[in-house]
Every structure is written in C-alpha cells, then in structure tokens.
Amino acid sequence: MAPDATDPATTESTAPRTSTTDTDPAGSDAPTGTQPRPRRSLVHHADFRRLWVGDTFGQFGAQLTGLAIPIFAVQTLDATAWQMGTLNAAETAAFLVIGLPAGAWVDRMRKRRTLITADLVRAALLTVVVVTALTGHASMPLLYVAALAMSAATVFFDVAYQSYLPGLVGPEHLVEGNSKLQATQSVAQVAAPALGGVLLRVIATPALILGTVGTYLVSAFAVGRIRMTEELPPREQRRPLRTEIAEGMRFVLGHPLLRRIVACTGISNLSNGIGSAVLAIFILRTLGLDEATLGTVMSASAIGGLVGAVASDRLSRLLGEGRIIPLAALAAVPAYALTPLAAPLAERGIPAAVTLATGGAVFFFAVVVYNVAQVSFRQRLCPTPLLGRMNASIRFLVWGPIPLGGLLGGWLGTRLGIAPTLWAAAAGVGLAALPVALSPMWRTRSLAG
C-alpha cells in the first residue's frame, strides 16, 4: 500500500509513565461505581488537540510542497524523466540510509523535542529553496540536496510521531487517534492541492513554497505546547546501538502477520515510487492538463482518503480488523490501473481528469483504510520500549523501496516511455496485494496481537 501516514502502540501494562497538567484526559480511568464512565472522545484530550493542530499545519504544508516542487521542476527547470525519478528518490532516500538507526536514536530522545526540531529544519530548508529560486540560482542538483536533507528530518519526525501517540492517548484510543490523524491528512490532500492550483494562477511557484515555511513553524509551535512529559530509560540501561537495532528488526520479522504486512506495503511502495517518478510528466505533458487541473485532480482524488479515514473505524468493526486489510489491498489494484488508462479512455471521450480523480479517490480510500487497520495492530502489538525501533524497522523495510522505485521509474520512463512505466507500477500494486490476500487474515476478525 501507499506509505502509511500514521503509525504506533502498546498494551496497558507496558504504557510509559507520563505526567500531564491536563485534567480529565480521554482514556483516563473511569470512576469507581457499578457503571463505568463512557469513553470520551479525543476531542476532549488537550494534548492530543495540540498534536492534532500541529499535524494539520504540517500536513497542509507538506501537500503544498508536494504540489509545488514537481511543478517547479517540470515547468521552470524543464526536468527530464530521469531527473524527476532522482528527485522522487531523494525525497525518501533517508528512510533507506538512516531509517534503522533513527529508531534506536528516537527511543533515547524526547519525542516532542524531536518533532519540533524536525519541523524547524524543514522550514529552514524550504526557505533556502525559495531564496535560490527568487535569485535565479535554482537547479535540479539544489533540489536533490534539499530533498535529501528534508527526507532526513522527515525520518526523525515520522518515527518520533508514530512512537509518541500511544503514550499520549492510551491504547484504547489508538484507532480513534489514527483515524483522526488520517482524516487530517486526507483533508490536507483535498484542500491544499486545490488551493495551490488556484494560487499558482496568480503567484509564482516559489511564493507558494514560501507559504509552506509558515505551516511548519505553526506546527512546531503547536507541538511545543504539549504538556505531557516523558521519562527516558536511564543511560546505564542502554545497550550497543547495533544490539538495539537488531532487536527491533527481529520483532518485526519474527511475527508472521507483520511479515505479510511489511511485504505488501513494501512492494506497493516500490511500485508507487515507480509511478510517482513520471506522474507529473504524464499529467502535464502526455495528457496536456495544466497546473490548476492537476491540483484539482489531486484534491478530488484525496476525497476518497478523507472518506476512508472517517469510515475506517466503523469498517474495521463491521468487517473485522483482520479481514479489512486484504480487502483494502485488493481494492487498490484496479483503482491504480485507472491512471495509465486515462490516456486511452480520453480518446473514447471520457475526460482524463475524471478518470484520474475516480481512480485516485478509490485508491486513497483503500490506502487509508489499510493503514489505519495495520498501524493500529502494530501499535497494540509492540511493547512501549521497542516502539521507536519497531516503527523504524518497518519504515526502513516499507519506505526504503520508495527511492529505489523512483530511480527505477526514471530509468523505465526514459527507456520504455511514460505510459508503459505507469502500467509496470500498476502491475506491482497487484503483486503487492498477494501477501495479505493469501493469508489467514481473511478468517480473522480481531488482530489483538
């Protein structure tokens, strides 16, 4: 499946010791008596609201950047298929290079501080990109370097973020928390490209990128207001870094269902990397759509992700949190195939934008439902002290293939052409579904770990 956007979890007996000045947090113990107090929504959890606000602005900025940078590369710097593949690879290369040690490092760090630092680093890097663009010094090598540095900051942000949620909200609120954060991402995917497409009609691309700097700063401020304090393991209990990294990898690869989830997500991300490398060229050049239409298509397709985030909790309860994983993986296959089908269908009178939006909506829906189910399972399964290393190991295994896919997509786009490359990516998404489709998950309603 596509990169999972939220990820973390525990059992009550292994929850980290925390202290907070917030009163009556969601997930607190019910008062004594014959009837337990109904579980309160995370909307009433002050620290979760702060994390939620920070995530909202961070996601909005990331989506604007994801729209503006490829357009700037294709339209202003006249990037080739190979250059776009290299840029796509650079954006996620750090997950392959430092993904594993990052998990062990995060387990030794205060996660709130890590999140704030990552936001500030990304804001600074985008500022450099804007300044060079405005002074006429922008180039593809500069974008590669900026993308590499931002990907390193994103590694630490994502691993810390995924490992922070369980201790913040408690194990009983993990699915709700993941669903709300997925919904935020989907709203950003809907609103940001549409707004960005409109803005690009009246402002230059560097000005749009500059706006994302502010979103990262707001995100850092909101996360900085979280009051929960973390108790880190004593230094004398730390073991060699190699030992701790190996422990996280053994946990992931030693669980039969986790192995299947990793295989599905990793193969799908490799395939998405191939397709993403040439997608902007396919839409802007092959189909002849303009930047505003590209933004509209991205927003329309992301509505499916928003619906998936809202419906994921109910679907998991209705169909079973085990069964929903292979169902979502299979649903993504024909949805992804609609992207390369947009060109031949356009010749038969079906607007390419409609085909792209329809396929994207179903694909995003399936991806979000899949991610909420498998991420919540991982979070409940993993002991608290191992969360950072577990998340980093999985990120290494499932995000590491993305830069390889980007390079492969750029090479295939140069050798075979844009449309055949997208068909190769669609075939890969189909192959990715097999590990979970041919698994015991079909007979499992509950994935309690």
What's the confidence (pLDDT) of residue 306? 76
- Mean pLDDT across the stretch 373-381? 79
CA distance 192 to 298: 9
CA distance 68 to 63: 9
Cβ atoms of residues 396 and 254 within 8 Å = no
According to DSSP, residue 28 is labeled P
pLDDT at 444 over 60: yes
- Whether pTM exceeds 0.85: no
CA distance 365 to 2: 11
In which element (H, E) is residue 405 found?
helix 401-415
What's the confidence (pLDDT) of residue 15? 32
Q: Where in the chain are the domains?
A: 43-230+240-443
CA distance 323 to 436: 9
CATH superfamily of 43-230+240-443: MFS general substrate transporter like domains (1.20.1250.20)
Terminal C-alpha separation, the chain: 21
Alpha helices in 282-323 (DSSP H): 291-319
Q: Name the residue type at position 225.
A: R
CA distance 70 to 84: 8
- State how far the alpha carbon of 106 is from the alpha carbons of 58, 102, 111, 398, in Å: 20, 6, 7, 18
Tokens of 118: 């990552």
Tell how far CA 312 is from the center of its chain: 16
- Mean pLDDT across the stretch 198-204? 75
According to DSSP, residue 29 is labeled P
Average pLDDT, the chain: 79
What's the confidence (pLDDT) of residue 142? 92
Cβ atoms of residues 370 and 329 within 8 Å = yes
Each residue of 101-130: pLDDT tens digit?
777 777 777 888 888 999 999 999 999 989
pLDDT at 363 over 60: yes
pLDDT at 78 over 60: yes
Each residue of 155-195: pLDDT tens digit?
888 777 767 777 787 767 777 777 777 677 767 766 777 67
Q: Which residue has the higher pLDDT, 64 or 335?
A: 335
- Return the sign of the alpha-carbon dihedral for residues 117, 273, 128, 281: negative
At 333, is the pLDDT very low, low, confident or very high (cuts 50, 70, 90)? very high
- Return the sign of the alpha-carbon dihedral for residues 429, 176, 9, 103: positive
* Backbone φ/ψ region at 364: left (φ over 0), alpha (ψ -120 to 50), beta: alpha
What's the confidence (pLDDT) of residue 164? 78
Tokens of 49: 């609201």
